[in-house]
Chains A and B, each alone.
Chain A
């Protein structure tokens, strides 16, 4: 089993590996961050594309590996099986199971399923503060006695109960086999164990998973068993499954749920508080129509104030005008003017200069707005508000062929279209995945593009905002409607868990924002430099002029755009926001009128996805579908541009601020 340790810090003792497991939203990440203070490394397994975060637990020689949240060991979802199969691959020494103290029976049900792996375990009941607020108290020592493993309680976000958790980790014990499964399943397990008796397999879990026809378990068996045994195991599975009316997996879930409920009843006392906590009331208000829509509008308005006003006006003014405009660029210009010839000066601070354009746009314009955007987005994400948006807009999205879950990729699209296309995986049907990707490609402005748009729009009047965002969302909606009707395939259904509304933790949001912004700068700056450099070379060689000459008739006749638009489009193709940033540059110099700016902004948004998004689209959807989408998107952008230009002219719409 190839365990590739990438970080020397986690290299020393892979045999002391602990896997961190639990439901979604139980605070696994907080626990991971709190337990492992040092630098985080990664673990990956041969043959699996996923990389797990792993790190030394401070003050011990244990390595902790984080996994994505799961609902069940017997899962259908690819994402969830990743966490589970990591146990098969990693051969951990023990499991650290994180449960939600206010959803005890649900957490225990999952824990009981994981006990089938027959590995030493520790249970940490997290978020006991929230449970206490809801009037839930849990007899931890009794629970520990019933389960036969150490049980710790914590409030990880506050750092409470982590020292004791660190202390009990070495005491991890194999749980008492508690759950008696239905007879048919127990008989199957006995038969199964007889067949594979000479193999070192992880407890009953692998047998149960094989019975549920889990692809991960089946492929594991086909790799480890000789052909004859494998064949007999498969036929045993087939005959056993034949004896069930429902699928055995449903029966399994029921059995574990019941067993968990019994334990929960025994160890927890409920005394519901007289007053419903405010956060819960707010949670309810934010997801029904009458109060939810005003709240959504308020949230968007706040977001605009923070990102659009503070970020795009104030911070950009500070960075671009003051820092770059008044200090850096003049300094670089005078130095490079003194030490070298004019070509070098043009290379540094000219029309397509390294400092004046590439660095200035990336660091002076894009980065500050992006920082504010990721910051507010992090708050919305962390507070659990996103799921409530799904509920609110579920019906609207359904008309566009998306289930309520579809809002996740769409909202993610505001952050990064490439990432959003990757998250379309959470959608259930192929049709839904195609529609979501198409809508994202069709003009979802990603955060970097959005930030430049906001900077440009700040110079125009309110009508510009209305037209740009109105057109973007209207055409997305229409395209969705059309795709829903035209594409073959089943409608998908909406089903999701709504996490509780929480006050987001500033610390973790700042950490996440910093990570995202660092990631962005590392990836975008080279591209900005490259794009500017390509344009610089093309310009120096006179090629740009030639392209502009070629494009001029089309641009002037149909779009009323100046030939310089070509540069914007070229940069857009390299990176979307680079194009828009270029546009801002040209607008500032007075080369573009207000109407032309709005028009080109929209065309840039629609025209081409950035290189990354394109690569991801091909990867996720295959050559045929991706090419088909691309062939649709490009002419579409030009046609929309032509129609808009016509409308602006006819109705004499101006955007001058």
Chain B
């Protein structure tokens, strides 16, 4: 979707939140100049309808606007609280993030931040699928694979590309970021299992693999 359209939908969501969906109100909070063409295009795509001076979101428009707002506010929480960026910059970055966060990133950020409910301005963050399922990563930090004990389950976060050949070899077995593994044994060699494949590796290889605990 075009950037201006996303901004306009966001504005429409916000005026709806405030209970005053007037066109003039919407124009004043929108980050881009809200031209008639933009509104026409949104109407043509079936995102909004007009009621006198009010701009109303259709159910399709609500779905889309909700996602945009969610990305914006999650982005703000991330940069403001998790990365400790100053409020003014955080606001700007959040504004940008709504345009480029893809669904996987959005979900990961939400889990990472423990499903935040409100943005730094105190506005509600529309809950996502992950919040409803209350997906939770028990230990929210990435740890080295060697830190795990036998029986632990984990999701691979990244593999340190110390040696390209090694990375290639691991990935050709299906050991990629995102793969969920279980540690079966740590001595004399580390044994991990995913699907029904068991891989044995020594310390030198395992220390390059970083995981999320599950």
Chains A and B belong together in one complex:
yes
Q: Which residues of A contact B (CB under 8 A)?
A: 71-72, 74-76, 100, 102-106, 109, 134, 246-247, 249-250, 253-254, 257-258, 284, 287-289, 387, 390-392, 394-395, 398, 403-404, 493-498, 500
Q: Which B133-169 residues sit within 8 Å CB-CB of chain A?
A: 161, 164-169
- Whole-angstrom distance from the CB of A365 to the nearest CB of chain B? 39
Known contacts A391-B191, A495-B202, A497-B198; decide if A106 and B164 are in contact (CB<8 Å): no
Our pick among A105, A250, A289, A498 for the contact of B198 (Cβ within 8 Å) is: A498
In terms of DSSP, what is the predominant structure of the interface of chain B?
mixed
Our pick among A106, A395, A500 for the contact of B188 (Cβ within 8 Å) is: A395
- 10 closest residue pairs by CB, A with B: A72-B172, A253-B171, A494-B202, A498-B198, A102-B196, A495-B201, A254-B176, A71-B172, A493-B204, A395-B188
Q: Determine whether the beta carbon of A493 is less than 8 Å from that of B165.
A: no
Any A CB within 8 A of the CB of B130:
no
Segment among B48-56, B67-75, B112-120, B179-187 that sits at the interface with chain A: B179-187
A622 to B201, CA, bound (A): 31
- Whole-angstrom distance from the CB of B119 to the nearest CB of chain A? 31
Q: Determine whether the beta carbon of A496 is less than 8 Å from that of B200.
A: yes
Any A CB within 8 A of the CB of B177:
yes
Q: Determine whether the beta carbon of A75 is less than 8 Å from that of B172.
A: yes
Q: Determine whether the beta carbon of B195 is less than 8 Å from that of A500.
A: no
Q: Determine whether the beta carbon of A254 is less than 8 Å from that of B202.
A: no
Any A CB within 8 A of the CB of B199:
yes
Q: Determine whether the beta carbon of A106 is less than 8 Å from that of B197.
A: yes
Chain B residues, CB < 8 A from A258: 176, 178
Among B165, B178, B200, max chain A CB count under 10 A is at B200
Chain A residues, CB < 8 A from B173: 71, 106, 497
> Which chain A residue shows the least CB distance to B199?
A497
Show 30 A/B contacts (Cβ-Cβ < 8 Å), sorted by A.
A71-B173, A72-B172, A74-B172, A75-B172, A76-B168, A76-B172, A102-B195, A104-B195, A105-B195, A106-B195, A134-B196, A249-B168, A250-B161, A250-B164, A250-B168, A253-B168, A253-B176, A254-B171, A258-B176, A284-B185, A287-B191, A391-B200, A394-B189, A493-B204, A493-B205, A495-B200, A496-B201, A497-B199, A498-B191, A498-B199
Q: Determine whether the beta carbon of B199 is less than 8 Å from that of A103.
A: no
Any A CB within 8 A of the CB of B174:
yes
- Whole-angstrom distance from the CB of A268 to the nearest CB of chain B? 10
A258 to B169, CA, bound (A): 17
Known contacts A288-B185, A494-B189; decide if A403 and B202 are in contact (CB<8 Å): yes
Our pick among A74, A106, A394, A395 for the contact of B174 (Cβ within 8 Å) is: A106
> Which chain B residue shows the least CB distance to A393?
B188
Q: Determine whether the beta carbon of A387 is less than 8 Å from that of B195.
A: no
Q: Which residues of B contact A (CB under 8 A)?
A: 161, 164-174, 176-179, 184-185, 187-189, 191, 195-202, 204-205
Our pick among B185, B189, B197, B202 for the contact of A497 (Cβ within 8 Å) is: B197
- Whole-angstrom distance from the CB of B73 to the nearest CB of chain A? 28
A257 to B175, CA, bound (A): 9
Q: Determine whether the beta carbon of A391 is less than 8 Å from that of B188.
A: yes
Known contacts A391-B188, A494-B201; decide if A109 and B174 are in contact (CB<8 Å): yes
- Whole-angstrom distance from the CB of A491 to the nearest CB of chain B? 8
Chain B residues, CB < 8 A from A104: 195
Chain A residues, CB < 8 A from B167: 246-247, 250
- Whole-angstrom distance from the CB of B55 to the nearest CB of chain A? 36
User: What 6 additional pairs, Cβ within 8 angstroms, besides A287-B185, A395-B189?
Assistant: A103-B197, A105-B195, A109-B174, A250-B164, A493-B166, A493-B201
- Whole-angstrom distance from the CB of B187 to the nearest CB of chain A? 7
> Which chain A residue shows the least CB distance to B165?
A76
Q: Determine whether the beta carbon of B202 is less than 8 Å from that of A253.
A: no
A246 to B170, CA, bound (A): 14
Chain B residues, CB < 8 A from A106: 173-174, 195, 197
> Which chain B residue shows the least CB distance to A403?
B202
> Which chain B residue shows the least CB distance to A258?
B178
Chain B residues, CB < 8 A from A134: 196
Known contacts A76-B169, A495-B200, A498-B198; decide if A392 and B188 are in contact (CB<8 Å): yes
- Whole-angstrom distance from the CB of B12 to the nearest CB of chain A? 32
Among A258, A394, A398, A494, max chain B CB count under 10 A is at A494
- Whole-angstrom distance from the CB of A476 to the nearest CB of chain B? 20
- Whole-angstrom distance from the CB of A429 to the nearest CB of chain B? 11
Q: Determine whether the beta carbon of B205 is less than 8 Å from that of A247.
A: no
A216 to B179, CA, bound (A): 30
A76 to B197, CA, bound (A): 20
A111 to B178, CA, bound (A): 20
Our pick among B161, B169, B174 for the contact of A495 (Cβ within 8 Å) is: B169
Q: Determine whether the beta carbon of B177 is less than 8 Å from that of A254.
A: yes
Known contacts A247-B164, A493-B202; decide if A289 and B187 are in contact (CB<8 Å): yes
- Whole-angstrom distance from the CB of A215 to the nearest CB of chain B? 14
> Which chain B residue shows the least CB distance to A405?
B200
- Whole-angstrom distance from the CB of A489 to the nearest CB of chain B? 15
Chain A residues, CB < 8 A from B189: 391, 394-395, 404, 494
A510 to B178, CA, bound (A): 43
A435 to B198, CA, bound (A): 28
Known contacts A288-B185, A289-B188, A404-B202; decide if A247 and B168 are in contact (CB<8 Å): yes
- Whole-angstrom distance from the CB of A294 to the nearest CB of chain B? 15
- Whole-angstrom distance from the CB of B27 to the nearest CB of chain A? 37
A493 to B201, CA, bound (A): 8
A657 to B199, CA, bound (A): 47
A403 to B188, CA, bound (A): 12
Q: Determine whether the beta carbon of B196 is less than 8 Å from that of A500.
A: yes
A287 to B193, CA, bound (A): 14
> Which chain A residue shows the least CB distance to B184?
A284
Known contacts A253-B176, A257-B179, A284-B184; decide if A103 and B171 are in contact (CB<8 Å): no
> Which chain A residue shows the least CB distance to B185?
A288
Known contacts A253-B176, A394-B188; decide if A387 and B200 are in contact (CB<8 Å): yes
Q: Determine whether the beta carbon of A495 is less than 8 Å from that of B199.
A: yes
A249 to B199, CA, bound (A): 21
Q: Determine whether the beta carbon of A103 is less than 8 Å from that of B172.
A: no
Chain B residues, CB < 8 A from A76: 165, 168-169, 172
